[in-house]
A = this chain, B = another copy of it.
Amino acid sequence: MISKEHITTWFKQLQDDICGQIEAQTPGYTFKEDKWKRPEGGGGRTRVIQSETFAKGGVNFSEVAGPLPPQAEKSLGISGKDFFATGVSIVLHPQNPWVPIIHMNVRYFEMDNNIWWFGGGIDLTPHIIQPEQAKTFHLALKKTCDQHSDAYYPKFKDWADDYFYLPHRKETRGVGGIFFDRLSNEDGFDKASRWAFVQAVGSTFCPTYLPMVEANRNTKFSDLDSQWQMLRRGRYTEFNLVWDRGTKFGLHTNGRTESILMSLPPIAQWIYNEDISQQSPYKETQQNLKKGINWANLIT
């Protein structure tokens, strides 16, 4: 039996582990923690870092419970009295434009009437796309998925392409990754197998992302690289505020604003009709911000 207490404990350990590994990469910089309570029940541990590597980053744990808010009932299409939700959410905005922005989320939801599901994903948003890096990233996610089901990677990769998309820009947020939601008892999967997969996704974060950080955080960059980074951060802001369902839901249901918006970049820029995207290597990045690129099989 996989209880919510068991899942919660594991998610807290995951948060501790990830924070520890990030701190170990930049000795002298530590996360600052805010413990918060939700008036209706539950709370969280918001942890933020600002270091020579990350201009702004958050690794958050939350565990909330109580009566299901009416808006949640409507948006989730479910009914019931009390809900429980726990998860770990990460967004890291690097200082160096050659280090990609990372996002990861793993979460568990249950109702008092036996409804339960897992959700989550990891996606990579390079300011400047390096195809080899995108390939390495997708291969790592594919390996994790394949160990649990051959059906996972193709399905969750396409789901990420569709989810991390800005219709008003006709571009993806980055090179995608995997996204999944409402994984429950179906298609031959039981709770134990779903949970094992979600744990594997959480455990994939550090070994996949931290080497990319290490490889690029001292890369020389130009003023134009920084300028382009600022514009890409503007796009990240647009995605999170206009399209991200989690952000919208949080802001519309009296969530903890500072924790929800820790995903926003430290600073972002908007230039009317910018023309930097006409220049290499930004032009190639712009051309690769589209759905359906088979990064894992890229011939480089």
Q: Which residues of A contact B (CB under 8 A)?
A: 34, 48, 56, 58, 167-169, 230, 234, 237-238, 241-242, 248, 251-252, 254-255, 257-258, 260-262, 264-273
In the complex, given contacts A56-B272, A167-B251, A168-B251, what are 19 additional A-B residue pairs having Cβ atoms less than 8 angstroms apart? Answer: A48-B273, A58-B272, A167-B252, A167-B254, A168-B254, A169-B257, A237-B241, A237-B268, A238-B241, A241-B241, A241-B242, A242-B242, A242-B248, A258-B273, A261-B270, A266-B269, A266-B270, A267-B267, A268-B268
CA A196 – CA B225 in complex, angstroms? 51
Decide: A264 and B273 in contact? CB cutoff 8 A: no
At the interface, is chain A mostly helix, strand, loop or mixed?
Answer: mixed
Decide: A56 and B266 in contact? CB cutoff 8 A: no
Shortest Cβ gap from A83 to chain B (Å): 21
CA A269 – CA B266 in complex, angstroms? 6
B residues within 8 A CB of A167?
251-252, 254
A266-B269, A272-B58 are known contacts. Are A251 and B258 too (CB-CB below 8 A)?
A: no
CA A237 – CA B238 in complex, angstroms? 9
A238-B241, A241-B237, A251-B242 are known contacts. Are A264 and B257 too (CB-CB below 8 A)?
A: no
Contact of A34 among B241, B257, B268, B273 (CB under 8 A): B273
CA A211 – CA B262 in complex, angstroms? 38
Decide: B270 and A264 in contact? CB cutoff 8 A: yes
Decide: A272 and B168 in contact? CB cutoff 8 A: no
A237-B237, A241-B238, A241-B241 are known contacts. Are A272 and B258 too (CB-CB below 8 A)?
A: yes
B residues within 8 A CB of A268?
237, 267-269
5 examples of A-B residue contacts, CB within 8 angstroms: A168-B260, A169-B257, A237-B237, A237-B241, A258-B273
B residues within 8 A CB of A230?
267
Decide: A267 and B269 in contact? CB cutoff 8 A: yes
B residues within 8 A CB of A238?
241, 261
Decide: A265 and B270 in contact? CB cutoff 8 A: yes
B residues within 8 A CB of A266?
269-271
CA A238 – CA B238 in complex, angstroms? 9
B residues within 8 A CB of A58?
272
Shortest Cβ gap from A128 to chain B (Å): 20
Decide: A168 and B257 in contact? CB cutoff 8 A: yes
User: Which residue on B lies nearest to A272, using beta carbons?
Assistant: B48
Decide: B262 and A272 in contact? CB cutoff 8 A: yes
B residues within 8 A CB of A272?
48, 56, 58, 258, 262
B residues within 8 A CB of A34?
273
